[in-house]
Structure 1
Amino acid sequence: MPYHKNKQQAFEAAQQGTMEAKEWYDHLVKSDADYGSQLHHLKQEVNEAFEQINNALEVASEKQRKQLEQFRHDLQAIVEEVNMYE
């Protein structure tokens, strides 16, 4: 993922990445035959979103910073939930 210098672009990338990770989590079904594959993809999405958040935090305004911290919190909750079932 390229580094974004523009505050708005960086924020939007982090927001989109977080939304995509949440969507993957919402559709994760342990009983599916391809659960392992889904879980792997979810982990990739979460890692990418964390990276996007970290990049955005480097250039974020104070208002964006608060929202980015919430995104990070939401992703951490997904990680903790998934780790409970592994």
Structure 2
Amino acid sequence: MPYRNNKQQTDYQAAEQGYHHAIEVSKKLDTSTSEYGVYYSNFMTENEKACQQIANALETASEHQDKTLKSYLEELEALKNQFPKP
């Protein structure tokens, strides 16, 4: 049982960090700058990594964590759709 709890907590923390990192990267997106394409590509990569980490964490998540992780996924998906391809 301790292994499951440690894995659950580790997976959740990785997902949470990935989510926050993707959000920070998205703040650099500005369609009016010449660097938009680079930042867009970086954001899409970080967004995908975060979504994968969240999917992994959902496998062992508690009920409370499950709700939080699903809201993270929804927010990342909405954010991804907010920015046009360069």
TM-score normalised by the chain length of structure 2: 0.87
Instruction: Show the counterpart of 2:3.
Output: none
Structure 1 residue 40 corresponds to structure 2 residue 72: no
Deviation at 1:26, TM superposition (A): 1.4
Deviation at 1:6, TM superposition (A): 0.5
TM-score normalised by the chain length of structure 1: 0.87
Matches of 2:34 and 2:61 in 1, distance apart?
Answer: 41
Count of matched residue positions in the alignment of Structure 1 and Structure 2: 80
Q: How does 1:5-84 map to 2 (within 5 A)?
A: 6-82=7-83
Matches of 1:55 and 1:7 in 2, distance apart?
Answer: 10
Root-mean-square deviation (Å):
1.1
Unaligned runs of 5+ residues in structure 2 are 1-5
Deviation at 1:30, TM superposition (A): 1.1
User: Per-residue displacement from partner, 1:6-48 (whole Å, max 9, x unpaired)?
Assistant: 0111011111111111111112111221110100000000000
Matches of 1:71 and 1:21 in 2, distance apart?
Answer: 11
Q: Secondary structure at the match of 2:34?
A: coil
Which protein is bigger by CA-based radius of gyration?
2
User: Which aligned segments of 4 or more residues in structure 1 are displaced greater than 4 angstroms?
Assistant: none
User: Per-residue displacement from partner, 1:43-69 (whole Å, max 9, x unpaired)?
Assistant: 000000000000000011111000000
Matches of 1:39 and 1:80 in 2, distance apart?
Answer: 12
Matches of 1:34 and 1:81 in 2, distance apart?
Answer: 17
Unaligned runs of 5+ residues in structure 1 are none
